[in-house]
Amino acid sequence: MKKPYIIIVEDEAAIAELVAINLRHSGFECDIACDSAQAQDMVFERMPDLVLLDWMLPTMSGFSLAKQWRSQAETKQLPIIMLTARAEEVDKVASLDAGVDDYMTKPFSTRELLARVRAVLRRRAPDVVVSGGTLTSGVISLDSLAHRVTAEGKEIKLAPTEFKLLTALLQQGDKVLKRETLQNMVWGHYSDIDERTVDVHIKRLREALTAVSAVAASQIETIRGMGYRLSKSAP
């Protein structure tokens, strides 16, 4: 697996180095930017998986930079953890309002920082790319915008995970999807779940489909030793 790449934006060299050493030691790749302008250049040169962003930076504050990133299409989704020496409630609220994923108040323990980095990466792991429109296969039809699934014209209620699983299966056409691929598509690369969890949710998906349409349920085929496939027609 590719190492997650993190950019640390921090003007205090000692803190930046300490964080960098800990991140590298924990299997992350990272670089340091010492001000907002440098951070901006680095982000557009190579998009990181996450940014640790200090609030107090020379020239342009981390807070302003976070707001700017959130307003740009390329960086709208960029996971950010704000690091701040300001413990005032109003600043915490302001940073969350600016759209950062989490914040930590200095001084912080590197252990806690690592735990939060992992948590944000898990949470922000790419979901199944939901493009607008309707996906269909056999009797199943999924409207990604309306978040609505029907089979033989009847509505099927699905939990969010089962909805993503079905989206992934529909996106692949009639190709076989390995458990590992489904796991990455639905839960993301940083998830802790094992492949058995995929089976559990496939089972739930089948049950939900069965309740409305046996034909729809039978479209999900288990391919022994490989994974799953959504066939266009019931076998």
Residues that bind Ca ion (CB under 5 A): 11, 54, 56
C-alpha distance from residue 128 to each of 12, 73, 161, 216 (Å): 38, 19, 10, 21
Beta carbon of residue 125, minimum distance to Ca ion (angstroms, whole number): 29
Beta carbon of residue 22, minimum distance to Ca ion (angstroms, whole number): 18
With b for 16 or more beta-carbon neighbours within 10 A and e for fewer, the 91-112 pattern comes to bbebbeebebbbbbeeeeeeee
**Comparison of 54 and 162: residue with beta carbon closer to Ca ion:** 54
**Comparison of 106 and 204: residue with beta carbon closer to Ca ion:** 106
**Comparison of 11 and 101: residue with beta carbon closer to Ca ion:** 11
Beta carbon of residue 10, minimum distance to Ca ion (angstroms, whole number): 6
**Comparison of 36 and 137: residue with beta carbon closer to Ca ion:** 36
Beta carbon of residue 66, minimum distance to Ca ion (angstroms, whole number): 14
Which residue lies nearest Ca ion, judged by its C-beta?
A: 56
Which residue from 106, 108, 43, 107 is spatially nearest to 77, judged by alpha carbons? 43
Beta carbon of residue 83, minimum distance to Ca ion (angstroms, whole number): 8
**Comparison of 42 and 130: residue with beta carbon closer to Ca ion:** 42
